[in-house]
Structure formats: structure tokens, C-alpha cells
Amino acid sequence: MQIDRSEVLRYMGYRDPGRSLNEARRRELEEKIEAVLPLLEREASPRHVCRIFPLSLSAPEGETPVLQIGPLTVASSDLAKNLRGCTEAAVLAATLGLGPDRLLRQAGQRSLFEMSLLQAAAAAMIEAYTDECNEAIRREAASRGLTARPRFSPGYGDLSLTLQRGIFRVLQLPRTIGLTLTDSLMMVPSKSVTALIGLAPKEGGSHDFTR
């Protein structure tokens, strides 16, 4: 898993690490990051699960479009836009397990700085891991002549967080990867991602000018 170091710096609050940090300080901070990454890698147990479902869309005039993704029924304009032209959608969930959550608690006890460093590194790590899973989905789809859209998660745009309940049920996430949902729709372990990835037939070289 390739973790982007400057992504870690951004998660730590350096919005533009190239400009806000001089070379020497950046290098020193990066050394700190290199020191926590092996720790995170030791404690994390990345797991993911993914299912691909047929997709259909109904968009009654003047109403929010409704998508049917296998057994999931989802009303969302933004997701409909993202999935336009898709015939299938992958439902993906990925988690780093409880290890990073435990490390964060420990670090919080010792030092706020260490905690923020770990927090940022773990956030970058779950992104990197989700990218990897996403890439596998893209390749599998490409082998079937499909292209993958950028992933879209509950909470983005008008896509309701309550969709999490459906995703958790359909993928049986507690059983398959140990990912659970609280009553208030938070994911535990916290370093976790759920996402939908639309898969569309390749359009022999033509461009979609409507986008």
C-alpha cells in the first residue's frame, strides 16, 4: 500500500505543505511520519468486501431520481448524476480494523501531537487502501469492457447517510470485515470507508458532451 506522505501532512493541517513548510522542517516532519507508518501497518488489519449489482434508474419528472442498485433503493440527484450511463454499480466497504483506533487512544493519552500525527497517517492509509480496492474493481470492470466512475460515498452531496444501513445489511459488514454501524450511523472501526462505484459500458471513443 503506497501512502502519500504529503497527504498525511495535509490531514495534519498543512493545507499546502509545499508552501507552508520549509524544506528542513518538512523533512523532519516526514521522518516522524516514517516512524509511525510501520506502527500503523503492524496494528492495522485492512479488510474489504465488494459486491457488484445491476443498476437501474427511474427519474420521474420533477422528482428526485431513484436508483435501484441490486436490493438497494436510493433517491439522490447527485448520485444519479455520478452514475449516469452506468449499467452496474460496485458497493465497496473497506476498513483498517480496530488497531488504529486503539493506537489513537494510546497516543491521545501520551501526546496530542502524536495523536494528530497518527490520526493523519491513518486517514491517509485508509484512503490509500480504498484506492487499491477501487483499482481492483476498475481492472475487473475493464476486463469486461466497462469503465469505472469516481467513487461516491454516503454523505456526499444529497446522498443520505441513512444509506449506510442498507449497505451494511447487503454486504453483511459486521460478519465479513468486522465493520459496524452505531445508531447514529458512525462507522466503527473509525478508519473505514463505504462507497458506490458506477460501471458504464465504454463508448467507443466518443465523448460525453453532456457532462
Which residues here bind other proteins, judged by CB under 8 A? Answer: 12-14, 20-22, 24-25, 28-29, 31-32, 35-36, 39, 45, 47, 50-54, 70-72, 88, 97-99, 101-119, 155, 161, 166, 168-170, 174-175, 177-178, 180-186, 188-190
C-beta of 80 vs 141, nearer to other proteins: 141
**Is the Cβ of residue 169 or residue 202 nearer to other proteins in the bound state?**
169
Contact (Cβ atoms closer than 8 angstroms) between residue 33 and residue 11:
no
CB of 6 or CB of 45, closer to other proteins: 45
What cell numbers appear for 170 in the block?
Answer: 447487503
Q: Say whether the peptide bond before residue 189 is cis (omega within 30 degrees of 0).
A: yes
d(CA 79, CA 158): 8
- The smaller minimum CB distance to other proteins, of residues 59 and 186, is found at 186
Would you state the cell numbers that stand for residue 190, as one nine-digit string?
473509525
Cell matching residue 201: 459500458
For residue 72, the minimal CB distance to other proteins (Å) is 8
d(CA 194, CA 95): 9
- For residue 209, the minimal CB distance to other proteins (Å) is 31
Provide the minimum distance between the beta carbon of 99 and other proteins in the complex, in angstroms, as a whole number.
8
Contact between 190 and 101 under an 8 Å Cβ cutoff? The reply is yes
The number of helix segments (H) and strand segments (E) in the chain equals 8, 8
For residue 134, report the phi and psi dihedrals to the nearest 5 degrees. -60, -40
Q: How far is the CB of 172 from other proteins (least distance, A)?
A: 9
- In the chain, the amino acid numbered 59 is A
Name the residue nearer to other proteins (CB basis): 63 or 155. Answer: 155
* Residue carrying C-alpha cell 437501474: 56
Tell me the closest approach of the beta carbon of residue 204 to other proteins, in angstroms: 23
Task: Work out how close the CB of 50 gets to other proteins at its nearest, in angstroms, rounded to a whole number.
Answer: 7
Q: Which is nearer to other proteins, 33 or 79 (CB)?
A: 33
Q: What's the grid cell of residue 52?
A: 457488484
DSSP for 40-54, written as a single string: HHHH---EEEEEEEE
